[in-house]
Structure 1
Amino acid sequence: MYLGFFYLAISLVLRIIFLFHPITTADFSFFEVIKILMIGILNDSLVFVLTCPFLALYFLFLSDSKYQKPYGYIILGVLLVFFLYILLIPNNIFKQYGGSVAEIALSFIGLKIIFFSLMLFLPEKRIKIRNVLYFITIFLYVLLIVFNAVSEYFFYNEFGLRYNFIAVDYLIYTNEVIGNIMESYPVVPLFLAIFAIAAVFTIYIYRKTNAELLNLPNLKQKLILLISFCALVGISLIGLNFTTKLKSENVFKEEIQANGLPKFYWAFTHNELDYFQFYPVMNQQQADRTFLSQYAPPLLKRNIESGKPELKKNVVLISIESLSADFMEHYGNTQKITPFLDSLADRSLMFTNLYATGNRTVRGLEALTLCIPPTAGESIIKRENNKNKFTTGSVFKSKGYDVKFLYGGYSYFDNMKDFYEGNGYGIVDRNNFSPEEITFANVWGVADEDMAKKTIQTMNAEAKSGKPFFNHWMTVSNHRPFTYPNGKIDIPGDAKSREGGVKYTDYSLKKFFEMAKKQAWYQNTVFVIIADHCASSAGNTELPMDKYKIPAMIFSEGFIQPQKFTQTMSQIDVMPTLLGLLNFNYQSKFLGQDVFSKTFQPKAYVATYQDLGFIKDNYLTIISPVKKIKQYSLTQQKNNLSPEFNIYYDEKFLKPDSQNKNLVEQTIAAYQSTSNWLKENQLNR
């Protein structure tokens, strides 16, 4: 009981912190706050019951009779045999699971044997030993409760959300994630504080409850308690199934009243979402016709012909980590943290109204490589069926280009290596660096300045082959912990500030272009600079527009004339537009469009793992599980500094009878057709 009250109290405090957190931009009335807290307490109560089976089993097996002859010796013998089975049998059931499962099982049984033996052969010490084990058990539970609360706080602080797919990824890529935590936060004081809090509350709970161990329930009483607990588990499962389906038009309200553990479980078990099971559908032929009507000819596989001589220029695609549009002065920022990019934008073809497809790096890479709308669940990059796709790299390869993906970290992260190698790209990553080439690195990879030098080195080698090259470079420095070499910019590298990370990446890009300009291949090269996603995705709605707007530009001295393209467009349109500027003739399966083609329709696709959005004609249409449809009207607010670079929108929710049904149909058609073509492998080469 005390443990349950402790969990509810910690969860309530965390929920109140979220309500007043700066990232929570929503305003709640007094009654809304009360409702959020009440639903939250209900969620927490149900979750606590579901986390107690191990505790229930522990109490169920507390007994004095099991140490009596001959039962104690039989149990000890069984434990010893089990220990020897795990230790000596090469192909035991635990080793078949792989990883450290066998070692964990061996350690657990070994400790069980030690403590059971002590309590069997030292009956006068049995109560003291039992009290020690009880204290440890309570401490572990309290420690996990406190640790989870701290973890949820930092996750919300970063993403404005409870646990989701990103948290699942963090369990998979433990090296990068633990390293990121170690470099971003004062880990030692933080963990000491967590252990101290856990110890204090454990002592309190222990003192209030340890006397109950003197009079253990008999078998009949245990059966009654067990049946009662099983009934509570059943009620909790049914209740949680109901409360987790409570949705709101306000994302912050929905997230704050939720409990993170069910959301984590859902994300863990829903890596991919079957579009046809969870989303609204229409006749497939009608969906294909509706979606393909924007192309000329209206076919998935179509010939792109320019009618002009092809330009075999080198292409360098630079996707920048977490570069929100509002970091740049062009979009109204006054901090002057992107001086080079702002100056480059004035000399480039700049897309002022462009939207990222998602809020993770793999989504940005997917959009720039596959040029297709995002689909429900995890990015294609991280799926099993991710190879032999029709990609920007495959188009360049068909033209005789050398094609590479360059990344300052270890490209196994987020499955990038598997994806890019499986689609014909060469890989240059941290494994290709010698120690003397690295002046600074953190858990995510070498500093962007070091990667810039490696990129120049790679291109010089490619240029000697006589073949044109297409290189896709993904930066890493603008990522928490935001550490970089000191003395490079006016923000110290150990300040660990987002602004510093942005400014250092801008500095590194300046150094890259200074080096590139000295190379013989520079004049024959086109540079595409674009963000992979925004720095934050938190907002009042499922898909806040200002959290998806990113900067993008195409630069090439003497070839690309400076201009601003102000129509709405998607990340998936950038590379088809570039191929159009190069006058490439090719057979396309891209679902993005050349924005300068006569058939281009201004629009954009934005998504989370569940919510799929479509922006067109000042409407945002969102389809979500389970077959839900929402629509918002968009009103663009003015940016007095640069009116063509507006980034803020008011999103007004529309009731179903006020929705633009034609745009709802286009939204369903786009995502249904894309999902179907992926399922049928029609987007392969």
Structure 2
Amino acid sequence: MWTKNRYLSLYTLFLIVFAFSFLTRTILLVKSLSSLELTPLLLAKIYGVGFFFDCVTFSYFAIPFVIVAMLLPDKVFNSTIFKALAGLVGFVVTYLMLFNVIAEYTFFDEFATRYNFIAIDYLIYTTEVIRNIRESYPVNWLLGGILLVNIFVFIFVRKHLTTAFSGTSRLGQRCKTGFLFLLLPILSFFFVDISMNHISPNNYADELASNGIYNLAAAFRNNELDFNKFYTVKENDVVMSALKRQLTEKGNHFVSSDTNEISRVIQHQGTERHLNVVVVIEESLSASFLGTFGNSTGITPNLDKLADESMFFTNLYATGTRTVRGLEAITLAMPPLPGTSIVKRPHNENFFSWGSVMKDKGYDNKFIYAGHGYFDNMNYFFANNGFATVDRLNFAKDEVTFTNAWGVCDEDLFMKAIKEGDASFAKKKPFFSVVMTTSNHRPYTYPDGKIDIPSKTGRDGGVKYADFAIGRLLAEAKKKPWFNDTIFVIVADHCAGSARKMALPVKDYRIPLFIYAPALIKPQKIDRMMSQIDIAPTVLGLLNLSYTTKFFGKDILNDQVGQERAFISTYQKLGFIEGNRLLVLGPKKETGFYTFTKGFSGDDKTTEIKPQDDLLVNGLGYYQGAYYVYKNRLNRLVK
């Protein structure tokens, strides 16, 4: 009988997985109600597709339990010791599932998505992440509360488990049933993928129809997606011709007529200006935080003042939603590839980069980071692409006044950057410093007494402290003999959040860019649309440097720069903006065409339109073209 069958334990496991998955989905559904246009059909899809993913998750989850049930003889399986061990395992499983409900809720609350690449990072970089969690949440109380609830949950589960350890069986019978169970994850591996959760144009609905644990495993598998396999493509000659046409601009020429060769010579008239360049990449600095973009909270007084004193770019879009995506775009000047950032990929050495150009011009290049540079593979990437690295380990005790989970506070970081500038100046070398901040990040802690918002009270405080620190950086730099020969570039790595009904909400990728050098550059406002990949070529243009480039970005100040365009992405969705049109490319060869209105108030006014072949060709020129160049090592210093 089934009640005497040892595989009853798998039935119990399935109920555990399903019950907690159902609970998580329902909680997240309630949280997302304001962002959903809920109908009975959509509700049925959310729970129906969600149940399918729960079953797939269970099939993977059950593998070790099936193997044990197949191989253990009755004498061992029905023994008192094994029953006790099974009870302990059951208690741990229910505890972990309860913990996952809390973890998924907090992850969804911050990122409006189920687990993805960010969750993978949280598992890999445990030191920073665990400390961040402890500084952000009452962890001990939560763990204790989960333990208490789990005691009552397990009392119910235990009743169903005990009857599984009293039957008799033969090995052949066990194996027949076991092989059927093992066939399920094998079929799932080959025939199920995360894109099957696409049930609606509303991104929240797609996320609700997923299973967080399955998504976590999918993120491990899909850290790099084959563009030609998963995305809409055209003939290579068509794509590369479109790319080269879009890369053509005044003052450059291609080095070869080869369709696949994007190298071109940038030639400027007059003397090169080997000025110092300090690039401050500010954590999560959305344009919507600034008063100059309409924010009325007054949390960015220094940046709002800087907007009137700088070359201020008002129509810049981040390429992604992660720090490493911003670092990739700014350093390599190339569009995002599906999957994880190149910064984190293996074999990411010797790219043609902003660092390689500056190094060839005699600059002292440094990547200066507030935390430990092994995080997100940053130190390795920069060390192998033209930079010396300076991170938390290089700060002396007297250089640190405040730290949190992510590193030293922004003020300490900026003072270190100034010292590094002094050292380069003493060697009579121009310096190029890329400075990555961390203070505008949960848990939003910073030194007391600096601003009028108490530490650890939320995002506004993090933004205002970051703004304060930038003000202090520029004030201290003005005291230095090298200040009048220095260009400061201040830009965000990405926005604070990009979670909306649509997978790629255009306005939530908009970030500010300041180029500040009061003795050298006249203040002005530039409204031309641009991408983070255009920053390096634009600054190199201001320096009047001549060089041979493999960049995909262009000098936005060039008066013949051509059609304005930008790039936005998640790790699977790729967006190409041209004018007020948006092309969205997705896995399983999905394409979407939209128009949108610009602004910061309310939801994006995005309207789906009929396919636009010119938009598709131009978008593929960059995305498919970038993938071809990357896979064939055509933007490396050594092929």
TM-score, length basis structure 1: 0.85
Task: Report the counterpart of residue 455 of structure 1 in structure 2.
Answer: 417
CA contact (8 A) 1:309 1:583 kept: yes
Task: Report the counterpart of residue 469 of structure 2 in structure 1.
Answer: 508
Superposed CA offset, 1:296-348 (max 9, x none)? 35632222222232222211110001111111111121211111111111111
CA contact (8 A) 2:365 2:387 kept: yes
Task: Report the counterpart of residue 29 of structure 1 in structure 2.
Answer: 39
Q: Does 1:369 align with 2:324?
A: no
2:394 to 432, 439, 447: 432
Task: Report the counterpart of residue 329 of structure 1 in structure 2.
Answer: 291
Q: 2 CA distance for matches of 1:42 and 1:24?
A: 25
Q: 2 CA distance for matches of 1:606 and 1:242?
A: 20
Task: State the AA in 2 paired with 1:560.
Answer: I
Q: 2 CA distance for matches of 1:541 and 1:162?
A: 15
Q: 1:41 to 1:626 in 2, by over 3 A?
A: closer
Structure 1, 619-628 or 28-37: larger mean CA deviation: 28-37
Q: 1 CA distance for matches of 2:494 and 2:147?
A: 36
Task: Report the counterpart of residue 51 of structure 1 in structure 2.
Answer: 61
SS of the aligned residue for 2:31 comes to coil
CA contact (8 A) 1:637 1:650 kept: no
Report 1:264-279 matches (<5 A).
Answer: 264-279=216-231
Task: Report the counterpart of residue 498 of structure 2 in structure 1.
Answer: 537
1:247: how far off? 4.4
1:565: how far off? 0.9
Structure 1, 517-526 or 284-293: larger mean CA deviation: 284-293
Q: 1 CA distance for matches of 2:334 and 2:185?
A: 44
Q: Does 1:559 align with 2:545?
A: no
Q: 1:310 to 1:133 in 2, by over 3 A?
A: same
Task: State the AA in 2 paired with 1:626.
Answer: K
Report 1:622-661 matches (<5 A).
Answer: 622-637=584-599, 649-654=604-609, 658-661=610-613
Q: 2 CA distance for matches of 1:216 and 1:470?
A: 73
Task: Report the counterpart of residue 6 of structure 2 in structure 1.
Answer: none
Q: 1 CA distance for matches of 2:190 and 2:363?
A: 58
Structure 1, 305-314 or 659-668: larger mean CA deviation: 305-314
1:366: how far off? 0.9
Gaps of 5+ in 1: 68-125, 640-646
SS of the aligned residue for 2:597 comes to strand
Q: 1:209 to 1:609 in 2, by over 3 A?
A: closer
CA contact (8 A) 1:43 1:243 kept: no
Task: State the AA in 2 paired with 1:670.
Answer: Y
Report 1:213-232 matches (<5 A).
Answer: 213-217=165-169, 219=171, 222-223=174-175, 225-227=177-179, 229-230=181-182
Structure 1, 577-586 or 36-45: larger mean CA deviation: 36-45
CA contact (8 A) 1:528 1:555 kept: yes
Q: 1 CA distance for matches of 2:303 and 2:419?
A: 22
Q: 1 CA distance for matches of 2:27 and 2:559?
A: 52
1:22: how far off? 5.5
Task: State the AA in 2 paired with 1:581.
Answer: L
Q: 1 CA distance for matches of 2:187 and 2:623?
A: 37
1:284 to 236, 242, 248: 236
Task: Report the counterpart of residue 312 of structure 1 in structure 2.
Answer: 274
1:19 to 29, 47, 61: 29
Q: 1 CA distance for matches of 2:33 and 2:243?
A: 37
Q: 1:522 to 1:234 in 2, by over 3 A?
A: closer
2:135 to 183, 193, 200: 183
Task: State the AA in 1 paired with 2:62.
Answer: C
CA contact (8 A) 2:32 2:204 kept: no
1:171: how far off? 2.0
SS of the aligned residue for 1:606 comes to strand
Q: 2 CA distance for matches of 1:205 and 1:579?
A: 65
Residue identity (%): 40
1:59: how far off? 3.9
Q: 2 CA distance for matches of 1:650 and 1:465?
A: 54
Task: Report the counterpart of residue 586 of structure 1 in structure 2.
Answer: 547
Q: 1:278 to 1:214 in 2, by over 3 A?
A: closer
1:544: how far off? 0.9
Q: 2 CA distance for matches of 1:23 and 1:501?
A: 28
Task: Report the counterpart of residue 480 of structure 1 in structure 2.
Answer: 442
Q: 1 CA distance for matches of 2:636 and 2:190?
A: 43
Superposed CA offset, 1:576-627 (max 9, x none)? 1111122222222221111121331211011121122110021100122122
Q: 1:187 to 1:584 in 2, by over 3 A?
A: same
Gaps of 5+ in 2: 1-10, 255-261
Task: State the AA in 2 paired with 1:382.
Answer: K
Task: Report the counterpart of residue 524 of structure 1 in structure 2.
Answer: 485
Structure 1, 378-387 or 544-553: larger mean CA deviation: 378-387
Larger radius of gyration: 1
Q: 1 CA distance for matches of 2:599 and 2:76?
A: 74
Structure 1, 560-569 or 229-238: larger mean CA deviation: 229-238
Q: 2 CA distance for matches of 1:400 and 1:232?
A: 59
Q: 1:530 to 1:241 in 2, by over 3 A?
A: closer
Task: Report the counterpart of residue 358 of structure 1 in structure 2.
Answer: 320
Q: Does 1:574 align with 2:529?
A: no
Task: Report the counterpart of residue 261 of structure 1 in structure 2.
Answer: 213
Q: 2 CA distance for matches of 1:597 and 1:443?
A: 42
Task: Report the counterpart of residue 14 of structure 2 in structure 1.
Answer: 4
Superposed CA offset, 1:540-597 (max 9, x none)? 2221112211111111113222211112111111221111122222222221111121
Q: 1:64 to 1:12 in 2, by over 3 A?
A: closer
Q: 2 CA distance for matches of 1:428 and 1:602?
A: 36
1:374: how far off? 1.2
CA contact (8 A) 1:23 1:160 kept: no
Superposed CA offset, 1:404-425 (max 9, x none)? 1110111111111111111121
Task: Report the counterpart of residue 678 of structure 1 in structure 2.
Answer: 630
SS of the aligned residue for 2:14 comes to helix
CA contact (8 A) 1:47 1:236 kept: no
CA contact (8 A) 1:62 1:216 kept: no
CA contact (8 A) 1:18 1:24 kept: no
Task: State the AA in 2 paired with 1:651.
Answer: T
Task: State the AA in 1 paired with 2:325.
Answer: R
1:442 to 404, 424, 427: 404
Task: Report the counterpart of residue 349 of structure 2 in structure 1.
Answer: 387
Task: State the AA in 2 paired with 1:609.
Answer: Y
Tell me the matched-pair count: 616
CA contact (8 A) 1:618 1:633 kept: yes
Q: Does 1:467 align with 2:477?
A: no
Task: Report the counterpart of residue 7 of structure 2 in structure 1.
Answer: none
SS of the aligned residue for 1:358 comes to coil
Q: Does 1:210 align with 2:168?
A: no
SS of the aligned residue for 1:244 comes to helix
Q: 2 CA distance for matches of 1:243 and 1:322?
A: 28
SS of the aligned residue for 1:167 comes to helix
1:29: how far off? 2.2
Q: 1 CA distance for matches of 2:526 and 2:488?
A: 17
SS of the aligned residue for 1:409 comes to coil
